[in-house]
Structure formats: C-alpha cells, structure tokens
Chain A
Amino acid sequence: MWPTWINMLSWWQWAILLAVPPAITLLYFLKLRRRPVEVPSTYLWSRTVEDLHVNSIWQRLRRNLLLFLQLLLLLLIIVALLRPAWRGQKLIGHRFVFLIDNSASMRASDVEPNRLEQAKLQASALVDNMISGDVGMVISFADTARVEQMFTGDRSALRRAIESIEPTDRPTSLIEALKVASAQTNARQRTSENNEQNTEPAETLPATAYILSDGRFEQVTESSLGALTPIYIPIGTPSPANVAILAFTVRQDENQDRRQAFARLKNFGTKKSRVEATLRLNGNLYDADRVSIGPGEVQGIVFDVGQIDSGVLELEIETHDCLDADNRAWAVVNMPQPADVLLVSPGNHPLELALGTERASKLAHVVVEPPSVLETPEYETAALGGAYDLIIYDRCRPATMPQANTLFFGRVPPVEGWSLGKPVEAPQIIDIDPNHPMMQWLAMDDVLIGEGRPIGVGPGGDILVDSDAGPLLAIAPREAFQDAAVGFVLVEQQEEKSEGRTTWFIRPSFPMFVLNTLAYLGHHVQASGEQTVRPGRPIMLDIAADNRSVLVAQPDGRTVRPTATRTGQSSFSATDQLGIYEVRANGECVSRFAVNLFDSNESDLPPRQKLDVGFEEIAGQAGWEAARREIWRPLLLLGLFVLIVEWYIFNQRVSM
C-alpha cells in the first residue's frame, strides 16, 4: 500500500528547500575551519591519522556522519512537508460507547483465547483508532450493565477500563446496557448545559455505540437507542461445538425412599457428539454414563442415586467443546432441618400424639404452650421475630398474625378475607385437593365430623377439603407465609376431660396430614432438592432476624454475610459464581444451594449476525470507515530524534 501525498509548498518554495541539501554538502566539503595549533611534532599525529585511513571507506563515512545526519534530517522534513498518509481507518463519529458483553457465553474459547479477550482486543483496537478530540465510554454488560469508564478522551484510561473487564457467568440483557448507555449519553449533555445557561433545552449529542457481543440474548423489543447509533461487532466463529447441561435436579422417587438425578443435555453444535457424563456424590465418583447426541438434539440422563439424606451431587460432562461453564452442574440434597413448631392448645392429646411420632420429630421440634402464652411478651417477641416456622393454634387465635406459617383448628386467622360460618351438624366431606402437598396420599372419606363451620377464604386461597356444608380446610398466602385453617375441632374440653369431636384422628389419614403439614408449612418441601438458582439471581434463605452467625460460603471459599430481615427470610444475591454455596450457622453447614448456568441462550454459542433492537435491524459490521492516516507527525518526531543524535555526536565525538 503506497502512501498518498499532498503538496504543501509552491514551486519556488520547493526550489529553495531543494537547494538546501546541495548547500549543506557544499559547505561541508568546503570544510570546517580548523583551529591551528602548534605542536612539537606532527610525527605521531600523522602516524595516528594514517592508521585511521587504512579502513578508509568506512572511516570516510564515519567522518561525514554529521553531514549524513543533517541530510537525513532535511529529507525527513521534506517528506513531512509532502504530508504523506496511508489509506487507514477511522471510527465513525466522535463520541463512542463501547458496550462489551461479559456474559457466560463470552467465555467460549472458539476464538483465542476466548471471546471476551477477543472483544477486549477489538475494543482496544477501536480505542487506538480514536483521534484526538474523540471521547469514549466503556460499559460492560451481562444481565446488568456497569459503566467501567465514563466519557473521556484519555485513551489509556479507556484501555485500562477495557482491560479490567472480568468474565461472568451471568445471562445477557442488551436492553440494560442500552438503557445505561443512552442515559449516560444524555446525562452528560444535560450537566454540561447546566453549567452554562439553563435557557436552552438539553440537546442530545449523537454517539456511536459499539456492541461487542456474540448476540446471545433475548431480542430487544423496545426501542431505547435515543441518540445512539448502534454498530454491532459480532464476536465468535459461526459454528462452535458445545454440549450443555440444561437441567440437573434430584427428585424423590414415588416410593419415597430412593432419589433420582435427572439431567438434560443438549448439543448446540453442528456435529454429533459423544459425551461422557460423570456423577459425583460429595466429590467421590458415583456413576457414569455415555451418551451420543446429534446436532440440535436434547437427551436426558437419569441416575439412580439411592437413599441419601444430604450431600452434593456434581454432574460433569466430558466433551471437546468451547464453553466449560455449562459442562458442570450441581444439585444439593439438604439434610432436613427440624422445623420449629409451636402448638398453642388448651390440651389436645391426639394432635400431640401425632406430632410426637418418630417421623414427625425428625421433621419438627414441637413446643406446646397453653393459650395464655399468647399474652406474654416472650411469645410476642418470638412470633414476630420469626423464631418459629409453624404455629398451630388449637381453638384459639392471636391478636396479630406471627411471622410464621400458621394452622388453625376451629378458628380462622384474624386477617381480612377469612371468615367462619355458622356451625353445621355432621358435615360430609365430599372432596379434597390431592394435588396440594398438604393433602398428598390422604384418604378422608372415612372421616366423620361432629360439627363443622364452613370457612370463607380470602383472595388467593385454596380450598383443600370441601364438604356439603362448605370448605372445611383452606389455605391462603399472607406475605411470605401460608395460613391454613381447619373448620372443625379435633377434641373438645368438657369438664376436665377432652372428648373427641371427629373420627379423623383415629384414621391413618390424620398422622399423614400432620406429617404433610410439618413438611409443607415447616418449609421442608424445598429441602428435597430444588435449591438451585441461576447465576446472579437472588435466592431466599431462612434466617431468623436475630441470627447473626449465619454466613454463606461461596464456591471459591469466600464468605458473605446475608442480611437478615424481619420476616426471617433473606434474599441472597451474591450468586455470581457457579458451584455449591454453603449456608453456615455457627460454623456448621446447615444447608446448601447450587448455582448453575442452565441457560440455553448462553450455551447456544454461534454468534448472531444481526441484532433486532426495537424495529431496527443492526447487521454485524466492521467498526470503522476509510480515512487518511497522516504520518507527518511521526516523521517530524523522527527528525527531532535525528537532531538529538547529531547534537550528541557533535558534543561527545563518539566517532570520527
């Protein structure tokens, strides 16, 4: 590629300039004035100089080095005056927003070393192409966007900001990034206007948004570009190989004893892939399987993991693909922690018996108190502080609802929406809701009830037991909790002695119902294995308000203290890393949860060639336009360097 030239001088100026080199040469050969010095004898000097003449051509060159340097300097000046320029590239516009995708799919190694590094390289190249006066901003985005560097003309700051972007395992959302970018573009404009005069309305300066991404995100439906001109630079090769684990769960078998691990694998590549799946239980090899998946196919794998109470299952697939993040998945089986249950009752032998079975005591730790406890401040503190998971009110009810799940017998919660109808003699159960966890495996058709009161349930409530008189058992959500109410009593206190008012408690369905209730309202359904969350998403943890010793250990070993809330539930969102998180109380692991990628958008690696933003379609393209790249500045700098060298040689006489 030859440079193009622009003539900066007229002919006579050229004539003067071109006369200078012969003049210098002439003057040089006319010789410099040498100072005469008388010496005793030139005998040794002439011999010394004679020695130097021996290798004469090089000597002559060295002798004339200063002349050559002067001519070189002049040549550089002449070339610089011709304003040579390469046909180069230039960024489009003068204000740039570099949007760099650092979501999980950008970890793919189909380009060296990975897509994020490639994107950073390209962004740095774009920054290098900025000319003075251009300003740029750097935003990294996954599912949230982060401004790494505000608008600045400092290219090294931009490069540093680009260099500092770290990969994440999060999903991608371009809309977030575009919102931040357009907000920042406008905000800056407004502030600068404010500084001068407020009379003129804020004018939005146009900016070019370079989106360096693989395009693996949901389509942006709303147009939020504002003054941004988007340019999409797709990163990645068209058909990278990738097999991903899209789901991995552990479920209880039908017969309750055994557990099974299910995994769903998908081949996103274009070639059939053989995959070796390895299952580890608590780090030890437990099972392995080999499947082959055709391009675009989904395959399930089932592992029988037998009876385990708690532990960590890790599934790893071995295959040669470009993204490692989706080749491992974790599932946890948490040891059921006994729920704290308070039974407020004037005396209920059958219920206490059912709560005291071996299986029930595994599920719950039950405290029995008389109704008078409702008046005590200890109860108030404990109930409102979330110390109990479940409070059962037998024939009594509190003035205010506690921060816990509740079950009422013969009463309804003092909450709007709940109502209790008139007593009905011997209501007949006609229907139960077998799909609700509390009613699983119950048969209540053999239950006789002496007297029942139909329950009116508030909005969002479910009727679990229906009778000819109306609902007898209903459940409704309240904030983060569930309230259930039974419209009849089990026993009635009659003259120091309790009498049964139903045959339910002598039927097998009653202890089953109690166990279901403890498992469901005592928060133990989740414990069976659905404790998994996607990276960056929050997870709810049970933490009592006064418990300050709870820490969450991240997969890399760092610990984070979750913020406890009044409700006893804490939203924990430091879930950026993939892997197993341990919830520790007083140093002991009480539960675990897993963070898995499970995102088919991120695992589907081939970069999109065009983006749809609002109603615009952005095709992938190179980010610059042709421009003259002038090189007279480096030429003059080189000339300055030559001048310095000449000066140095003249002074030091490093050669002769």
Chain B
Amino acid sequence: MSTTSTLLSPELLARLEKMELISRKIFRGRMKGERRSRRKGQSVEFADFRNYVPGDDLRFIDWNTYARLERLFLKLFLEEEDLHFYALIDASASMDFGEPTKLRYAQQLAAALGFVGLIRGDRVRIETLGQPSAAASPVFRGRRSMWRMLEYIEGCAPGESTSLASGVKNFCLRNSGKGIVVLLSDLMDKAGYESALRYLLTQQMDVYVVQVLSAEEIDPELTGDLRLVDCEDGDQTEVTVSGPLLKRYKETLDAFTQSAREYCTRRGMVYLLAHNEIPLEAMITDYLARRGLVR
C-alpha cells in the first residue's frame, strides 16, 4: 500500500478532516454510526415515550414516570447510525479529455468526498458506470481504508463504453440501500441524461449530479474547416468554425447545462457544474459546501 497518493494533497486532506458529509434526509444505516437516525435506539438523545409492551427491554423503562403515574412507559432514544456514501464516476472515453482530464478531476472529487466519509465513519463505495452489474465494488469504512480507497479510485481507467443510462441502472440494481450518491459525469450522452437520473430518483437517494466539463468544451479553441470526430462513437460533424458559430455553440452549451440544472432542481436533485480548471479545494470547500453536501 502506497503511503502517498497523487489524488489528494496533504493540505487538502488536512482541510477535509474537519468536514463531514451531510444528508438532507435521515436514512437508516446498517450499523451504528455517528449520525442520528429516525430509528429510536440507544443514544443519549431523548426522542419520545411509548407504552410498555411485554418483551420490551426493561433497561429503557422510565421508572420516574412509573413512580408518579404507576404505568410503565418506555423511554425512546434516537439511534445514531452510519451513512451510505456512493460516488459514481463516469469513466467513458469522453471523460478522458482536458488538462487535467475530466476523469482525473472526477476521481479527485470522489476521493475527497470519500475521504470525508471515511473520517466520519460512513460507508463509502466508489463505483464506475462501466462496472458489470454483478461485480460490486468494495465498501470502505473507517480511516484505515483510506489508502485502499484511493488505490481503488486510481485504478479507474477511461474507455468504458457503457451508456449513462445503463451504467446508472446497473448501479441502482447493485445498491438498493439509501444514502448519498454523487454522480460525476459530463452528461454528454446522445441518448440523453434524463433516463439515467430517473433511475437514481427511484432509489430515493440524496442525489448530487456534478457535471464535469473541460475548459475546451466550455470555450473551444477551434478554427478553420474541421471534421469533428466523436471519440466515443466515431460520429462526425463537419463545421467551419466562425465567430457566429462559436457564439451559437456557447448558447447551445448554456442551454444544455441550464436544462440539466432545471431537470435536477425540479426533482430534488442537486446539480453542480464543474470544470477542470476550478481548483479541487475550492470545489469542495466552496461549491459543494454551498450546495450542502459537506459541512
């Protein structure tokens, strides 16, 4: 196990240690964690009373109430649970563009968020879209798993040719549990991103969609008569780059991101546009914090 990782710098790690993942929903965890859950359980935080029924744990009977009212009541406490955090990375060929590549940026983001989760004792699972539906990725928990997680993330190679929708579908099939899912993708799928996001919605997860674009896509530096070749499906489009065309391209891009944002916002998902020139630290401590993913 390597002791250093290029994904996250030590300074960033130091900052991330102070953060935690926030879920807007309170989910059932599988194990006791550091989060309050809706489930009443053993913690120090009082939640409610209920009548005693035979079989209840006698340890929770409120004897003071019994002394006053001569009836048995059970004191209910809030249970603290762990959180499921999923990072779903789009590792298609189109993500392999930019400097740093969009995939690299997505990996860094996933690593940072996963690290926060590990620190707070959450269950962290990193997946890629191209993963076969049967093969689930390992679950990381606890600080010690950090290096393993980073190694796993580094291992994600570009070039998967799964469509966004089927990748998300497989993910949903593998992971029925609730929690936070962060989809890191450029959403550039000719079939559209809507069906993919709809799968995530049905999971009743706390969904964050981070659209990762490269600077080249936002402000293309192309000139001349060109034949644009799609790196995924080899589709060709002939353009003669001109001022008006570039203007129109930017309008189209704006319309695309705006529609994605609207689609997500209407359905209670959080949409975030990132491009590879925003520094990772700013991305997490500023952009994501503002969206309420981390605190």
Which of B186, B235, B240, B249 makes the CB contact (< 8 A) with A48?
B249
Interface string of A403-431 (1 = CB under 8 A from B): 00000000000000000000000000000
Bound-state Cα–Cα, A20 to B47, Å: 91
CB proximity of A55 to chain B, nearest CB, Å: 12
A35 B214 Cβ-Cβ under 8 A:
no
Closest to B189 in A: A43
Bound-state Cα–Cα, A42 to B228, Å: 7
B214 A40 Cβ-Cβ under 8 A:
yes
Bound-state Cα–Cα, A516 to B94, Å: 126
Which of B225, B232, B240 makes the CB contact (< 8 A) with A41?
B232
Bound-state Cα–Cα, A51 to B214, Å: 23
B249 A655 Cβ-Cβ under 8 A:
no
A37 B186 Cβ-Cβ under 8 A:
no
* B239 at interface by CB-CB < 8 Å: yes
A44 B249 Cβ-Cβ under 8 A:
yes
Closest to A45 in B: B237
Which bracket fits the contact residues of B?
Answer: 35 or more
Closest to B190 in A: A43
Bound-state Cα–Cα, A212 to B186, Å: 84
* B278 at interface by CB-CB < 8 Å: no
Interface string of A18-37 (1 = CB under 8 A from B): 00000000000000111111
A656 B237 Cβ-Cβ under 8 A:
no
* A38 at interface by CB-CB < 8 Å: yes
Closest to B253 in A: A44
Query: How many residues of A are in contact with the other chain, CB < 8 A?
Result: 26
Which of A33, A47, A655 makes the CB contact (< 8 A) with B252?
A47
CB proximity of A350 to chain B, nearest CB, Å: 113
Which residues of chain A are within 8 angstroms of B237 by Cβ–Cβ distance?
42, 45-46, 49
In the complex, chain B residues 179-226 whose Cβ is within 8 Å of any chain A Cβ: 186, 188-190, 214, 216-217, 220, 222, 224-226
* A15 at interface by CB-CB < 8 Å: no
B242 A656 Cβ-Cβ under 8 A:
yes
Which residues of chain A are within 8 angstroms of B249 by Cβ–Cβ distance?
44-45, 48
* A497 at interface by CB-CB < 8 Å: no
Which of A42, A47, A63, A654 makes the CB contact (< 8 A) with B229?
A42
B227 A36 Cβ-Cβ under 8 A:
yes
Bound-state Cα–Cα, A426 to B129, Å: 160
CB proximity of B124 to chain A, nearest CB, Å: 28
Closest to B192 in A: A43
Bound-state Cα–Cα, A42 to B236, Å: 7
A656 B217 Cβ-Cβ under 8 A:
no
A656 B227 Cβ-Cβ under 8 A:
no
B229 A34 Cβ-Cβ under 8 A:
no
Tell which of B95, B189, B228, B229 has the most Cβ of chain A within 10 Å. B228
Which residues of chain A are within 8 angstroms of B231 by Cβ–Cβ distance?
38-41
CB proximity of B140 to chain A, nearest CB, Å: 30
A44 B244 Cβ-Cβ under 8 A:
no
Bound-state Cα–Cα, A49 to B240, Å: 10
B229 A36 Cβ-Cβ under 8 A:
yes
A44 B256 Cβ-Cβ under 8 A:
yes
Number of A-B residue pairs at CB separation under 8 A:
97
Which residues of chain A are within 8 angstroms of B214 by Cβ–Cβ distance?
40
A48 B248 Cβ-Cβ under 8 A:
yes
B248 A39 Cβ-Cβ under 8 A:
no
B226 A37 Cβ-Cβ under 8 A:
yes
* B287 at interface by CB-CB < 8 Å: no
Interface string of A546-579 (1 = CB under 8 A from B): 0000000000000000000000000000000000
A52 B245 Cβ-Cβ under 8 A:
yes
CB proximity of B227 to chain A, nearest CB, Å: 4
Bound-state Cα–Cα, A392 to B228, Å: 120
Which residues of chain A are within 8 angstroms of B232 by Cβ–Cβ distance?
41
B224 A42 Cβ-Cβ under 8 A:
no
* B241 at interface by CB-CB < 8 Å: yes
Closest to B214 in A: A40
* B243 at interface by CB-CB < 8 Å: yes
Interface string of B239-279 (1 = CB under 8 A from A): 11111110011001100100000000000000000000000
B224 A45 Cβ-Cβ under 8 A:
no
Which residues of chain A are within 8 angstroms of B94 by Cβ–Cβ distance?
40-41
Closest to A34 in B: B227
Which residues of chain B are within 8 angstroms of A34 by Cβ–Cβ distance?
225-227, 238
* A653 at interface by CB-CB < 8 Å: yes
Which residues of chain A are within 8 angstroms of B102 by Cβ–Cβ distance?
40
Given contacts A48-B245, A49-B237, A654-B242, A39 and B228 within 8 Å (CB-CB): yes
Bound-state Cα–Cα, A33 to B227, Å: 9
Bound-state Cα–Cα, A45 to B227, Å: 11
Which residues of chain A are within 8 angstroms of B239 by Cβ–Cβ distance?
45, 48-49
Given contacts A42-B235, A44-B253, A653 and B97 within 8 Å (CB-CB): no
A40 B186 Cβ-Cβ under 8 A:
yes
Which of A35, A36, A42, A655 makes the CB contact (< 8 A) with B244?
A655
A48 B228 Cβ-Cβ under 8 A:
no
Which of A32, A42, A43, A47 makes the CB contact (< 8 A) with B225?
A32
* B230 at interface by CB-CB < 8 Å: yes
Bound-state Cα–Cα, A39 to B252, Å: 16
Bound-state Cα–Cα, A449 to B224, Å: 126
Bound-state Cα–Cα, A44 to B238, Å: 13
Bound-state Cα–Cα, A652 to B256, Å: 28
Which residues of chain B are within 8 angstroms of A51 by Cβ–Cβ distance?
248, 252
Which residues of chain A are within 8 angstroms of B230 by Cβ–Cβ distance?
39, 41-43
In the complex, chain B residues 149-183 whose Cβ is within 8 Å of any chain A Cβ: none
In the complex, chain B residues 68-106 whose Cβ is within 8 Å of any chain A Cβ: 94-95, 97, 102
Which residues of chain B are within 8 angstroms of A655 by Cβ–Cβ distance?
242, 244
B242 A46 Cβ-Cβ under 8 A:
no
Which residues of chain A are within 8 angstroms of B235 by Cβ–Cβ distance?
42, 46
A-contacting residues of B (Cβ < 8 Å)? 94-95, 97, 102, 186, 188-190, 214, 216-217, 220, 222, 224-232, 235-245, 248-249, 252-253, 256
Knowing that A38-B231, A39-B231, A46-B237 are A-B contacts, what are 10 other residue pairs whose CB atoms are under 8 Å apart, sorted by A's residue number? A36-B227, A37-B229, A43-B230, A44-B188, A44-B249, A45-B239, A48-B248, A49-B245, A52-B245, A52-B248
Can you list 25 A-B contacts with CB-CB less than 8 angstroms, sorted by A residue number? Answer: A34-B225, A35-B225, A36-B226, A36-B227, A38-B229, A39-B220, A39-B230, A40-B95, A40-B97, A40-B102, A40-B186, A40-B214, A41-B190, A42-B237, A43-B190, A43-B230, A44-B217, A45-B228, A47-B252, A48-B245, A49-B237, A49-B245, A51-B252, A652-B243, A656-B245
A-B complex: 5 closest residue pairs judged by Cβ atoms: A653-B242, A41-B188, A40-B94, A34-B227, A42-B230
